């Protein structure tokens, strides 16, 4: 089974691209603290590359920004490529199946809902209108 779960903060703004077939692709990276401390008593941080596709990619590029806290669920993918000098390079990415937006809108400009749901505007209690439900209760 190839399943990864990470919680961290975006290290940079997401980058959105479109493939030749018109499919959205979004790349970003998150900083994830390790649970243990090094010899100096400091926690080390890993930087994880994340890739999202289609609607999830569109939502991530629209609602996430540098500093946003997210929970990413996905699978590990290794790939290799040649750089401009002809050297073979290797990269490891997490291909996200789900991205939960943990930060509130004021904290990193992300919503507090999953990326697969549309954003809705919340209203203050003083802005809400009373609902006339009459006396006809369905039970």
pLDDT in tens, 112-121: 444 444 445 5
**129: DSSP letter:** P
Q: In the structure encoding, which two tokens stand for residue 55, read together?
A: 């609607």
Residue 61 covered by a domain: yes
Task: Please give the tally of structural domains in the chain.
Answer: 1
∠ CA 7-103-10 to the nearest 5 degrees? 55
The domain of 40 spans: 4-127
Q: Could you give the CA distance from residue 97 to residue 52 in angstroms, rounded to a whole number?
A: 7
**Which region, left, alpha or beta, applies to residue 67 given φ > 0 means left and ψ of -120 to 50 means alpha?**
left
**Overall pTM surpassing 0.75 (yes/no):** no
Residue 137 covered by a domain: no
pLDDT in tens, 80-126: 999 999 999 999 999 999 999 998 555 544 444 444 444 455 556 66
CATH number at residue 93: 2.40.50.140
Burial of 119 (0-12, 13-18, 19+ CB in 10 A): middle
């Amino acid at each position: 089974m190839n399943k990864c779960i990470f919680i961290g903060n975006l290290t940079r703004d997401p980058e959105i691209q479109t493939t030749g077939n018109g499919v959205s692709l979004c790349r970003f990276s998150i900083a994830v603290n390790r649970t243990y401390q090094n010899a100096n008593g400091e926690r080390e941080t890993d930087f994880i590359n994340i890739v999202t596709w289609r609607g999830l990619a569109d939502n991530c590029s629209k609602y996430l920004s540098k500093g946003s806290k997210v929970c990413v669920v996905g699978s590990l993918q290794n790939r290799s490529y040649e750089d401009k000098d002809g050297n073979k390079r290797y990269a490891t990415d997490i291909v996200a199946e789900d991205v939960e937006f943990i930060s509130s809108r004021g904290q990193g400009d992300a919503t507090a809902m999953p990326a697969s749901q549309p954003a809705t505007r919340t209203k203050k209690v003083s802005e809400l209108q009373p609902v006339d439900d009459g006396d006809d209760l369905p039970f």
